[in-house]
Copies of this chain bind each other. A is one copy, B any other.
Amino acid sequence: MELWFKEIDESQSGLTFRVKNVLFSKQTPYQRLDVFETEFYGNVLVLDGAVQITQKDEFVYHEMLAHVPLYTHPNPRNVLIIGGGDGGTVREVVKHPEVEHVDLVEIDEAVIQAAKSYFPEVSCELDNPRVSILPMDGIEYIRKKPATYDVILIDSTDPVGPAEGLIAASFYKDAFKALTDNGVMAVQAESPFFYPEWVKKIFSNLNGVFPVTRLYLSFTPTYPGGMWTFGFASKGLDPVSDFDPSRIPEGLSFKYYTPELHKAAFQLPAFVQALTK
């Protein structure tokens, strides 16, 4: 028997791969959660039919979401992650020795459990003593939160269902208030090729709240089209001119992120640049 997964969207196109085994399937209170074993991608975590992470390529998204803001900020001590229950972003954040504490606010505890069972090399730092896991709605959590965090990372699913409010201007206003004076934020910001309207809305909403806003790009093969954006927003720090590569300890290396790529990722193709106008 052959099982094939397909992730097809309104474009009537998408990704397909062969499933060796279905490892886990559950309807949680928030979403449908599946874990598949595949030949090429290793284990794959799927929420509501959309691939979230694969063992083969999760490093790209997690490294770029975490290190670009964390190496822009000169001294990130307190970090908030909203979403990201798989632990991949936590794993990257705790590589920064100056980070004293990480709050991970994940609405769906089933994601955390699935990550611990099937993605040990992704969830490996969820039990780190510097990390607190708060199983609740990030939108509620951040409402009226005082200036607490140096860096906020929005590691969300597509902006439908439970994650819809995570791209709203009101949410970004709450995030702004929850940041310290020098605070920076990075948000997953969708595909400029398949979902340009979402990219525009995210950028425009960030732009209405934060004085500094930029988009940056990375390649994630299992996200639609392979080209994925992040939104950078800060109270003043610029992700290129305020970035000091000497903060990266000698000998530390990543699979995707490099100091040169940190800067290059902000150079956008013309049609992506147009979405920020």
A→B interface (CB under 8 Å): 6, 8, 11-18, 38-41, 57, 60, 193-194, 217-221, 224-227, 253-258, 260-261, 263-265, 267-271, 273
What chain B residues lie within 8 Å of A16 (beta carbons)?
6, 8, 13-16
Chain B residues with CB below 8 A from A18, complex form: 12-13
A38 touches B17 (CB 8 A): no
CB of B273 within 8 A of CB of A269, answer: no
Q: Can you list 26 contacts pairing A with B, beta carbon distance less than 8 Å?
A: A6-B16, A11-B17, A11-B41, A13-B16, A13-B17, A13-B18, A13-B40, A14-B17, A15-B16, A16-B16, A57-B193, A193-B221, A217-B219, A219-B226, A219-B227, A254-B270, A255-B269, A255-B270, A258-B268, A258-B270, A260-B267, A261-B269, A261-B270, A263-B264, A263-B267, A264-B267
Which B residues touch A255, using CB under 8 A?
A: 269-271
Residue of B nearest to A258 (CB): B270
Query: Which of A41, A219, A258, A260 gathers the greatest number of chain B CB atoms within 10 Å?
Result: A219
Q: How far is the CA of A8 from the CA of B5 in the complex (A)?
A: 12
